[in-house]
Amino acid sequence: MSVTMRIADGVGYVQIDNPPVNTIGKAVGQGLLDAVRWAEKEPITRVILSGVGKMFAAGTDLLEFDEAPKEPYLPDILNAIDSSFIPWIAVINGLALGNAAEVAMACRMRIMHSKAQIGLPEITLGMIPGAGATQRLPRLVGLEKALEMISTGRLLKQDEALTAGLVHRVEDDTDLEAFMVNTEELGCIVPTWELPAPERDGMMFEAARQFASLNMPRQNAPQRAIDVIEDGLLIPFHDALFFERTAFIRLKTEPQSQALRYIFFAECGARRKNIIAGTDLIIDRIYTRYLEAADTVFMDGSTPWEVDEAMVNFGYELGPYEAQDLAGLDVAHANRRRQDATRDPSRRYIPIADRMVELGKLGVKTGAGWYRYPGGNGKVEDPIVADLAIEESYFAKRERTDYPPNQIYERLVLAMINEAAHLLGEGIAQSVGDIDLITVSKLSFPRWRGGLMHYAGTLGAKSIVEKLGELVKEDPVVWNISSILLECAEQGTMLADFKGD
């Protein structure tokens, strides 16, 4: 059974029993609702809710996530717990994540084990809580703590949860403590939904939005969560739940959430697989092609800071030039020298980075690289570097072009996609999933885009080949289109379906 029920000494015991981690899917939700109705017919003073084993519950069953919602809906189940005349005590005997934390908040009382943790990590999957947390949590812990927990997804250990007021007690023997709670004391605890909402604090919301913009730039879910919390303060509790649920359902269908869930499952699979073959070769090839494309754009018309800004706007934490400054330009220089003997003589070579090393501009450690770092007070643009590109373009008889930001990031990303497809065709990479994991974990590709090849899938092979076809006219060697991309475009198949030999 997904949920078990029993009575002992006038107390109802309800356990979530859904191995391996007690995820709360349809069957568990129905079991909890059945337990509410069962408890209200029995001569008991309370219900003690726990999870079987060392886990309270790990949250939503993501395998059911893309299915259409079906009754009973979780918000309705939690409302039934919250409003029941039989008080429920949540015994948080291990991790309580996502909607498991929401279940606990709907209970009248929460008792936490000293080694347990609780939190709402939905943001990390591109979503917001969808079963009442945006309204229950501010009523329990206050506005500031609720904004922080929901918009960052950070988990709380027992001491912080107790201090915040999210749980009432912390004990090692949680079941005994729940049994011993005085009935009169339990009856005096106000149901969460009846607690007053905190007053709206505009400065607090603005600070939360700025923090989210800085730490999770261009991601939709954190900002949407903050909006839902703010809007909910101004209307009745149950009306606010409707707006929360609407936002939750909309977000889970958006590309960012789909990408983040995809990479989450890919990581779970990789942990089971343990080893990804050819990782170093894949990292080296894709990163080298990324830098080559960046240097070409730089030499042919842009500046390092324009390239960096375009890639940051695409979703990277740092652009390629600032990242090189931090690592040291001598590192990439040494790598280029190792490739000298095998480099295709017909392939265009951009010498600007070599000249930078000759000038001693090695990055942050020398105070100057692609940027200058005066007095250690952050980076500033360096006109000398821009002049180097103009000089080299003149020597190479190249006509420089003013690339708009979207063309900059498009060229760099297409270069990586094409190189990754070559790796698949050569059998060095075994699957698009491996490439996605590597590009997210090792090459800083934006996680919320799901990895390089997942993003390529959103563009479609036909569109990619058309764009590469235009670039081939500029340089048929560098932009030689992968046979894998050509095959997928011709047959109308998805890159994700390519499995390799």
CA angle 258, 95, 169 (to 5 degrees): 135
Catalytic residue among 64, 122, 230, 322: 122
User: DSSP string covering 70-126, please?
Assistant: -SSPHHHHHHHHHH-SS-EEEEE-SEEETHHHHHHHHSSEEEE-TT-EEE-GGGGGT
Give the position of tokens 């001693």: 360
Q: Is the dihedral of CA 375, 376, 381, 382 positive or negative?
A: positive
Q: For residue 130, what are the CA distances in angstroms to 78, 80, 229, 242?
A: 11, 16, 12, 9
* 131, two tokens: 């079963």
Alpha carbon separation from 126 to 129, 161, 251 (Å, rounded): 10, 24, 7
User: CA-based Rg of the chain, rounded to a whole angstrom?
Assistant: 28
Nearest-angstrom CA–CA distance, 59 and 408: 40
What does the alpha-carbon distance between residue 129 and residue 234 come to, in Å, rounded to a whole number?
A: 19
Is 487 one of the annotated active-site residues of the chain? no
The rounded distance, in Å, linking the Cα atoms of 397 and 388 is 14
- Asked if 122 is an active-site residue, the reply is yes
Q: Which of 42, 102, 177, 199 is catalytic?
A: 102
- Collapsing DSSP to helix, strand or coil, 206 comes out as helix
Residues 202 and 287: their CA atoms lie apart, in Å, by 44
Q: In angstroms, rounded to a whole number, what is the distance separating the alpha carbons of residues 308 and 414?
A: 16
Q: Which two tokens stand for residue 44?
A: 């008991």
**Angle formed by the axes of helices 202-215 and 220-232, nearest 10°:** 170
Where do we find the tokens 């949407």? 224
Cite the active site residues.
102, 122
